[in-house]
Copies of this chain bind each other. A is one copy, B any other.
Amino acid sequence: MNEFDLIDKYFRNCGAPRADVPLGIGDDAALLACPPGEHLVAAVDTLVEGIHFPAGSPPESIGHRALAVNLSDMAAMGALPAWALLALTLPSIEETWVQKFTKGFGELARRHNVSLVGGDTTKGPLTVSVQIMGFIPIGQALLRSGGKPGDLLFISGTLGDAAAGLNIQDSEGEKNYLKKRFQFPEPRIELGQRLRPFASACIDVSDGLLGDAGKLAAASACGVEIDWETLPVSRQLLAFAGEERARVLALTGGDDYELCFAVRPENLEALERQLPARQWGYTRTGQLRAQHGAVVKRAGNVMDFSHSGYDHFGP
């Protein structure tokens, strides 16, 4: 089976069909119809074997994550995703691997009505780069830069699960839960869109909360203070790692793909009324402040974190 047969069999109908794709996979480029009155939102994220996922990871997970990390960028902008391109570099064509990869990618794509409109399949070390495109009404995007001192800081879901799950092989109890949180993260697409009227700034937590909240604060020309005690951690992570380590993972572990967002105090009531925290599963865990930098406060004292987030070229 060569590259072209592979594309026909597994990629052509992998994503959702959409009426705004006059020409999809198969020509030199795709033709796409952008809706009037909206901005196109575009991002790219790459997963490299041995760096972003362990060698030998299940292909369904690699396909799911490659799209999920990009959908998460759409969520962080408050955007509605629409189209994806896939640049897949593979050491060799193993049909079973490709079938499972496209199953993982395709199920998530169809669930979010995302069409796979093009791509490139090349030979080389396993690397998956997805380019995602979506829309947002002009002026409504959630930027990192809209925060200001006094804004309250919120996190969706729980943090630290994926970092704990990264190297878990077991499939029992809380270990299975944590493993799945790494392998099949759920991008917060709907929450991101609903946050448009309420959030002053937003970022997705891909590299660890301390680092990513720090980036949001820096883009907003301020600093951030995170509360140790209110960090949202799952009961599975608490059972697996104990409270101390669970909270450290919540602060510094990557790959959660939850949303970290800021809300002006005057919008808090509207947020809680229209997007009840109990229903939407987010937690208030700090605030922006004038003093630059990202700090964690525990029982009123600033904690020392030398390890702040994840630098892809770090040690």
In whole angstroms, how far apart are the Cα atoms of A312 and B3 in the complex?
A: 7
Whether A41 contacts B31 by the Cβ 8 Å rule is yes
Known: A48-B123, A313-B3. Contact between A31 and B85, CB under 8 A?
no
> In the complex, which residues 36-54 of chain A have their Cβ closer than 8 Å to any Cβ of chain B?
36, 39-52
Q: Chain B residue with minimal CB distance to A40?
A: B32
Contacts of A41 in B (CB 8 A): 29-32
Across the interface, A311 reaches (CB within 8 A) one of B2, B42, B133, namely B2
B123 near A129 with CB under 8 A, answer: no
| Number of A interface residues in the complex (CB < 8 A) | 70
> In the bound complex, what is the Cα–Cα distance between A49 and B89 (angstroms)?
11
Bound-complex Cα distance A203 to B28 (A): 7
In the complex, which of the residues B4, B92, B131 contacts A131, with contact meaning CB atoms closer than 8 Å? B131
Q: Which residues of B contact A46 (CB under 8 A)?
A: 87, 89, 120, 122, 129
Q: Contact between B39 and A92 (Cβ–Cβ < 8 Å)?
A: no
Residues of B within 8 A of A27 (CB): 77, 143-145, 219
Is A124 on the interface with B (CB-CB < 8 A)?
yes
Q: Does A299 contact B (CB under 8 A)?
A: no
Residues from chain B with Cβ under 8 Å of A31 in the complex: 39-41, 77, 136, 141
Residue-wise interface mask of A (113-137) relative to B, using a CB-CB cutoff of 8 A (1 in contact, 0 not): 0000111111111010101111010
Within the complex, what minimum Cβ distance (angstroms) separates A130 from chain B?
A: 9
Write the chain B residue with the least CB distance to A131. B131
Which residue of B has the minimal Cβ distance to A204?
B28
Question: In the complex, what distance in Å separates the CA atom of A123 from the CA atom of B49?
Answer: 10
Question: Please, which residue of chain B has its CB at the minimum distance from the CB of A29?
Answer: B43
- Chain B residues whose CB sits within 8 angstroms of the CB of A34 once the complex forms: 34, 40
Q: Does A19 contact B (CB under 8 A)?
A: no
User: In the assembly, what is the distance between CA of A125 and CA of B126, in Å?
Assistant: 9
The 4 A-B pairs at the shortest CB distance, nearest first, are namely: A48-B124, A29-B43, A28-B76, A34-B34
User: Residues of A with Cβ closer than 8 Å to B?
Assistant: 2-4, 22-23, 26-34, 36, 39-52, 73-74, 76-77, 79, 83, 85-87, 89, 92-93, 117-125, 127, 129, 131-134, 136, 138, 141, 143-145, 202-204, 219, 311-314
